[in-house]
Amino acid sequence: MGLASGEVVLHASGRCEDGYGGWAAVLTHGSHQRELSGSGSGTGVTSHRMALTAVVEGLTALTRPSRVRICVADETLHEKRAQRQPPDEPYLWQRLRPLLARHHVVWTEPGEWADVGDEDSAYDEDDDQDEWADETPCDLAAELAFHQYRGEEVRAGAQGEENTLTVAVSRFLAERWDDMHAFEAADDVISTLHFSIGWYGDTPFSEMAPAEIVDELGPFFSSTLPHKQHASPHELRTAKRVVTDLLNWLVANGHVDAEAARDRLEDIDITVDERASLKEFVDAFADDDLVPWPDRSSIEARVDCQYLTIAEVADRSLTFKDYDRYDEDDGPAVGPVPVRPEIAARARTGWRILLSAAKVRGQWRLVEVVSGDP
């Protein structure tokens, strides 16, 4: 059987978070376009599985052998397709192999999409831009599929009658499902809160009463987000906004005492401001602000990945001391360490910074700035 005339472009995309996945495939042939999408859940669901599913379902939808250019942004898929016996997703690969034999397939990675319009191709530069444009609805379709499936799970959980935190949170999320971006921001923060309670709490999330959440928010903002999730300043502020909405919702629905919620929100405001500012300080250090470890023979003193406290801040320098081992008036100082004025302006005395530093020819220089604590 001969190949269908013209080339079919298959854009495929997959997405997964916390075991909830969505996939989408966009088939384009001339002026005709067809969109396919679906979802799945479970412990084995990954973004790779969703992307592979999109490729399989897209090829399956073709009714006759065709020349197909597959554009999929999935590094794992591009790595595994070159192996004779891919070790993962055997069921999907078993479906994929006969489809690859049926069609004349060219694989295109994202970095190559801009090179599609060469002399041997039917595409010109404008068509390359169309391919990039086609990726947007494909990604959006995968996101919508994920959103739809997750919404069904949340709405099902919201039907429970028991007075538990799980049911209350499901109702809170269900009310936000129509606004996809607000829903996903809240869902992501609450998922991290679920992890935090499992890590630090004495009672499992599923067994907690709604009012118990107030006591769990301290470690969530002071430890889980900055140290286990390495949250950015934007992520910290997003978490504060979501938790503020959640606590206000719990108060309005009679689950949490208003005064307890207000006190906790005041603490969260202080914690997030401090953590976000500290994170911005650490992130402000660029490669040019640090030096590689000098030759061992030239090092007069060194600090290797140790917490030190900012003791003095000048316009263009910082001085650190080890208050964990010495009193404020005792112990050696690391510094003054030269820094850019922009970094000095962000620094606050009393912050504990995890860093490495070396002293050469009487001058301290920073080798590494890792993280910090207020």
DSSP string, 247-289: HHHHHHTTSS-HHHHHHHHHHHHHHHHHHHHHHHHHHT--GGG
303 and 324 in contact (C-beta within 8 Å)?
Answer: no
| Separation in Å, CA 75 to CA 102, 105, 218, 262, 278 | 24, 18, 38, 46, 34
Q: What is the pLDDT of residue 19?
A: 77
Secondary structure of residue 302 in the 3-state scheme:
strand
Cis before 98? omega within 30: no
Q: How far apart are the first and last CA of the chain?
A: 70
Q: What is the pLDDT of residue 86?
A: 61
Q: What angle, 0 to 180 degrees and rounded to 10, lies between the N-to-C axes of helices 165-174 and 180-200?
A: 160
Task: Report which residue type is found at 144.
Answer: L
pLDDT in tens, the chain (374 residues): 455 567 999 999 888 877 778 888 989 888 888 888 888 777 778 889 999 999 999 999 999 999 999 988 888 888 877 666 566 788 898 899 999 999 999 998 765 544 444 433 333 444 444 443 444 556 777 777 778 888 888 999 999 888 899 999 999 999 998 888 889 899 999 999 999 998 888 889 989 999 999 999 999 999 999 988 899 999 999 999 999 999 999 999 999 999 999 999 999 999 999 999 999 999 999 988 999 999 999 999 999 999 999 999 999 999 999 988 876 666 678 989 999 999 999 999 999 999 999 999 999 999 999 999 98
Residue among 134, 169, 359, 347 at smallest CA distance from 256 = 169
**Using CA atoms, how far apart are residues 365 and 357, in angstroms rounded to an integer?**
6
What tokens does 36 get? 């396919």
The secondary element (H helix, E strand) that includes residue 81 is none
Q: What is the pLDDT of residue 144?
A: 77
**Using CA atoms, how far apart are residues 266 and 245, in angstroms rounded to an integer?**
14
How does DSSP assign 154-222, residue by residue?
HHHHTT--S--HHHHHHHHHHTTTTSHHHHHHHHHHHHHHHHHHHHH-SS-GGG--GGGHHHHHHHIII
Taking every pair of Cα atoms in the chain, the longest distance, rounded to a whole number of angstroms, is 87
**Using CA atoms, how far apart are residues 285 and 210, in angstroms rounded to an integer?**
41
Residue among 284, 327, 288, 290 at smallest CA distance from 309 = 327
| Separation in Å, CA 129 to CA 55, 74, 133, 176, 371 | 21, 20, 6, 35, 41
The secondary element (H helix, E strand) that includes residue 5 is strand 4-17
The secondary element (H helix, E strand) that includes residue 354 is strand 352-360
**Using CA atoms, how far apart are residues 49 and 77, in angstroms rounded to an integer?**
9
355 and 303 in contact (C-beta within 8 Å)?
Answer: yes
**Using CA atoms, how far apart are residues 220 and 199, in angstroms rounded to an integer?**
10
| Separation in Å, CA 221 to CA 200, 216, 270 | 12, 9, 10
Q: What is the pLDDT of residue 41?
A: 75
Task: Report which residue type is found at 202.
Answer: D
